[in-house]
Structures are given as C-alpha cells and as structure tokens.
A and B are shown apart, each in its own frame.
Chain A
Amino acid sequence: MPAHTIKSKTLLTVFKGIIAQDDVNENDVYQQIQSYLTLTPFYVKLFMFFSLVYCNLLSVVTNQKMIYSLPGNKVAVLLNNCEKHFIGRSIIMLLKLICTLVYFDDDKHAERIGYRHLVHCK
C-alpha cells in the first residue's frame, strides 16, 4: 500500500479534493498516476513534486496543517485559492489534468458524465 508516504497522501488528498467523489480506489489511482509519471521526462516529475510541496506549504501557512490532515471542504477551498494566480493556476491545471485523465479513464466514471468509450462510433 503506497498511501503511507507524505507524497502519496498528499497526491491522493489533492485527487479527492479536485474530483470530490468517494468511489475512488486509492491504490488504483495512485498506481495509475505513478505509471503515467514514470513515462514523463524529469522536468514533469520535478514540477509534480514541486506542486505537491507547494500545496503542503500553502496548507501549512494558511491552516497550520499538512494538506492531507485537512477536512475535504478545506482542501477544496485551498485548491480553489491556488487558481487565482499564475503559478498556482499552472499547478492546479497540471494536477487537474492528471486527475481527470485517470478518473475518467474508468468506464464507470466516464458514464457519470454521459460519456461511453467508443459506443458512439458504432
């Protein structure tokens, strides 16, 4: 179970903060994100790492707690506040893209927004 490290806990908290859905298999999500990131170049991995550090730093400054110790509603507020300036928005954009990429890859999740993979082209 990878969800014990600061990195994995932060990543999963951010994931849940962005998607706000309970039916997430943490192991699957974490492994999917990691398997994607291993294929990316060093600068993407570095930016991802920096993004998670940034979320935690912001959380410590504003709430005196690491982001994974915050309740769900406070995580959402924190991430929402990030969107207001360039660096934060760039970070949230990357995190959001990785989250939606993994979440909606699942047929069950895609169906929730009315999308069914390849059905419409038959």
Chain B
Amino acid sequence: MIYTLKDYKKNYKNIFDADVCIIGSGAGGAVAAYELAAIGYSVVVVEEGGYFTTKDYDGKPLNNMKTMWRQAGSTVSFGIPPISIPTGKCVGGTTAINSATCFRTPEHIIKQWKENFKVDIDYKSLEPYFERVENIINVTELPWDVLGNCAKIVKRGADALGLHCKPLKHNVKNCKGCGTCQFGCAEGAKQSAEISYIPLALQYNTSLLTHCRAEKIHFKGMKADSVECRVYNEKGESVASCTIKAKIIVCACGTMITPLLLKKSGIKNKHLAKHLQIHPCSRVVALMEEEVNGWVGVSQGAYIDDYADEGIMLEGIFVHPSILAASLPGVGKEFFELTKQFSHIAAFGVMVHDTSEGAVFGNMHTSFSWYMMNTKDIQTLKNGIAYLAQIFMAAGAKKIFTPISTFPVISCQDDIEKLKQTYLMRSQIPEVFAFHPLGTCRMGGDSDCGVVNSYGKCFNTDNLYVADGSIVPTSLGVNPQITIMALSTRIAGHIAEQLNN
C-alpha cells in the first residue's frame, strides 16, 4: 500500500508494525525492500519525498527541481570551490534524477577495500548480485542515435586522437533519448527505483509511507526498536507523526542524510559523517560548426576511460538548456547571442576519481558538507578539462568554453598547451559539481576502520543496518548506482538470514 498525505491520520500518532523498516526508497532502500518483501517479510518503507510518475514530468527543470530534488537542488558542500551536490528527495531517490548510467564496481577498487579497510568482499562474490540488479533494472547498451550528437562528436574527436570513446550502459527500456533524465524520465523509459524495484516490492507485503521523514531511531540497549517519523505536507508543515516498530531497521537515506540520522539516534563512531568522497565534476562546452541539437539523445551517452589511471573519467553531460546555458560566458547581449546558437553547442563532462575527503553536517532537514579539493584533485580536474578541450578541438570545434576563470575560451591549440602547463589554483575553477556522494558510514572490518561491517550492519548494534552510498568506503571512479544496488541486495540476503535465525 502507498500512503500519501491524505492517508495519514492527522494530528495523531500512526503506528506501523513490520519485520523490516527501511528508511529511504532510493538505490539502496528500494532494492532491500523488494528483496526482503519477495521472500515473505513485511516491510515498511519510509520516504521523505513524494511519489512522482511520468504524468508529473513536464520536461522543465524548475518544477521538477522544486519537487524532486533535495533542497530544490541547492545542496552544497562548502570549501573552495563550493561544490553543488544535487540528490533526489522522492520515491526512487537519486535514481529518479540521475543519468541512468551503469557501471559495475571496478575490481581493483574492491581489492583496495579489502586491503585498506578489511572489508570482506571480493569481486567474484559480488558478480551474482551485479547480474541480478542488471536484470531487474534492464541494463542495456543503446544505439549511437539514441546516445545523441554530443556523444558522436566526442567520439569523432577521440577517434582522431586515437582514444576510445565507448557507449555507456543505461538502465532503460525503449529509451528514445528525450534527454530529460535528471528531471524525471518523461518517457518512463528509465528503470529507476520507483519504476522498477518499488512496484515489485509493492506486489508483496510492503507499505510505502511517502512525505514521511525519519527523525530518530530509538534503541533498547543494543537493539534498534522503533523509528520515529513526522509527516510533512508540500509547504513543509508537520501534519502527522508515525512510529514504526520493526525487528530490523535499515537506513538508506543516502550519503548526506544517513550519518546525520545515525548521529541523532546516538550512534557513536569516529568515522561517522566523515570520509565524504564525491567525484568532483566539471564540464567543457564547445561551439560547433554543425548543428548538434544536444538535447536530442540521452544526456549522458558515452565515456572515455583512457585517462582512468590519472583518475580522470570523461562522460557525457548535456542537460536542459536552462541549466547548461549558465555555463556560457558573458552576460547581457553577448551572452544571449551565444544562447541563440544553442543548437550548435556540444557539452561533455570530466569526473575526478577523488582523493580528497570531506564531512557532513547539519540535520535531516538541512544537510550540508565540508569538502576541500586537494591540490592533486584540482590538477587532475584541470588535466581532464584540457584533454576534453583537445578532443573537441580534434572534432572541429570553433570555440571551446571551459569553467576555468583564467581560460574561459579556448580557440586554438596554443591555448590548450598553455592550459596544460598551468598550475591551477582552487579559486580559478568556480564551476564544480558532484553527483556521487559516498563514504560517510563506510564499511570496515571493525569499528576502528568503519561504521558498518561488510554486511552493512552498524557496529555495536544488534539489528541496525545501512544500505546506501554512505557505506561505500572509497570513491569508485565510476557512477555508483550498480555498486549501491548490488551491495544492498547482498545486505538484504544477510538480513533475511538474521530474521530466519
């Protein structure tokens, strides 16, 4: 059953009883909900946001940012530069607003987890979970026509330079490439959690409480006993309260919120809310001679991993003109003239496999973070931008716009060479984003290494689990959706064993 605002008893304590209470319905929560419900356990899923479907999507960023993005898309990590970290606040969580890009966890990263944090996982043992997740969300390779012209242009440039531009895999069905992935898939093609896992879970004994924010987890000794929640309407006013009693409680509110909920609930661990890694990203925009119409095709079509050893991943990133236009230089008439040439604009992104770490602060209502990019990551980002500029140049770009304040426009090879030689200061690159926050409740072999064990169970508790991006111990260098879903499937299996016993 789905509880919407009208289904709660107003000004009254709604009480639910279940085998498992899962807080959050994103990549971690939705997967755990289905896996546990499907084998016969009663599940209550608590979701702070609303349940949106294709009929709610008008393809316009403003409306959907207000309703589906946490803090209307203005979640920021402080530091120099400040970094925007948009995450989802709706059924499906960030999977509802991501680019549907799917990568398995790189094998060498899993080895690092074992060596550095004593995490008892290896690639081989994760493979069945990857396969299961990929089947359910239909991970598939799309034809180049659906990947869009930006991807084709970058491929042309990469081919000319002897690089390898490959199509990304997406979790979609019948995708025609409407390019609105980040604002709710208007075609209903993206198999995000609210389209794939949540409906599957709802076929079994699952209750989904929307607009319901978990405020605190109550303990009896080492045992998590119940979750105290409040229901908020669209204006943010509290209209009802809920208590969910469960044998097992799973926190899956995402990297930015889970550590804050655990902290508020009295969990103490020196790694809690720390070690935030985010994959800092930026973009390069190119003005092409040919018509691009970058909005036709998926927003993230292709990738180049030739520079992965340097910590650089180049991935597509063409978003709605109302956001991408802000990347164009200048203001006033000069700026508007450029936007008029938008059909000739191509864009691609640079993602850094970061070595910097940050921390999360605030409360469940307003979370923010501190993340200062270290010198190495700043130079890596700059190198990625230079490589991408080189690729666009090889593809025949007339002008290239970078996010670096000292190199706003690149129009010849000399500029690229100068950029490569430049030592970049933090303050010279104000336009940095991040879409993959990870690590704030990381897994570890013991409480000296992490907050949860290799099965997501919180140290020093009997029945409190974490199943979201926060348990991923390090940044991955690739999009984390499949990693989170696979780990969550594994955790659900372990929870089932505990419930059986």
| A90–B81 CA distance with the chains assembled, in angstroms | 9
Number of interface residues of B (CB under 8 A): 51
A3 at the interface (CB under 8 A from B): no
A101 interface residue per 8 A CB criterion: yes
Q: When the two chains form their complex, are residues A100 and B180 in contact, meaning their CB atoms are under 8 A apart?
A: no
Q: Contact residue range for chain A?
A: 35 or more
Nearest-CB residue, chain A, relative to B428: A86
Q: Is the CB of A105 within 8 A of B330?
A: no
Interface residue? A104 (CB, 8 A): yes
Q: Which residue on B lies nearest to A19, using beta carbons?
A: B336
* Least distance between A41 CB and chain B CB atoms (Å): 4
Main secondary structure of the interface of A (DSSP, over half): helix
B401-415 interface bits toward A, Cβ cutoff 8 Å, 1 = contact, 0 = none = 000010010000000
- Type the 1/0 row for A98-122, where 1 means its CB is closer than 8 Å to any CB of B: 0111111100001011110110110
Residue B167 CB within 8 A of the other chain: no
The yes or no answer to B335 lying at the interface (CB within 8 A) is yes
Docked pose: A113 CA to B337 CA in angstroms: 9
Q: Is the CB of A93 within 8 A of B62?
A: no
B66 neighbours in A (Cβ, 8 Å)? 35-36, 39
CA distance A73 to B333 in the complex (A): 9
| A102 proximity list for chain B (CB < 8 A) | 62, 322
Question: Using Cβ atoms and an 8 Å threshold, which residues of chain B touch A103?
Answer: 322
Considering the complex, give the chain B residue whose CB is closest to the CB of A40.
B74
Checking A113, A117, A121 against B60 with a beta-carbon cut-off of 8 angstroms, the contacting residue is A117
CB of B187 within 8 A of chain A?
yes
Cβ-based interface call for B331 (8 A): yes
Question: Which of A4-12, A59-67, A75-83 touches B?
Answer: A75-83
Is B323 part of the binding interface, using a Cβ–Cβ cutoff of 8 Å? yes
Contact A115:B295 (CB < 8 A) given known A101-B323, A105-B60, A121-B180: yes
Query: Which B residues fall within an 8 A CB radius of A?
Result: 58-63, 65-66, 71-72, 74, 76, 80-82, 176-180, 186-187, 293, 295-296, 320-323, 325-326, 329-336, 339-340, 342-343, 366, 368, 405, 408, 427-428, 430-431
Q: Besides the contacts A80-B334, A115-B321, what 16 more A-B pairs have beta carbons closer than 8 Å?
A: A18-B331, A18-B332, A36-B66, A36-B72, A39-B71, A44-B71, A79-B331, A84-B405, A89-B430, A96-B326, A96-B335, A101-B61, A101-B62, A101-B322, A118-B180, A121-B186
* 25 A-B contacts (beta carbon < 8 Å): A32-B62, A36-B66, A39-B71, A41-B368, A73-B332, A76-B332, A76-B333, A80-B330, A83-B329, A96-B326, A96-B331, A99-B326, A100-B321, A100-B323, A100-B339, A101-B322, A101-B326, A113-B339, A118-B178, A120-B178, A120-B295, A121-B177, A121-B179, A121-B186, A121-B187
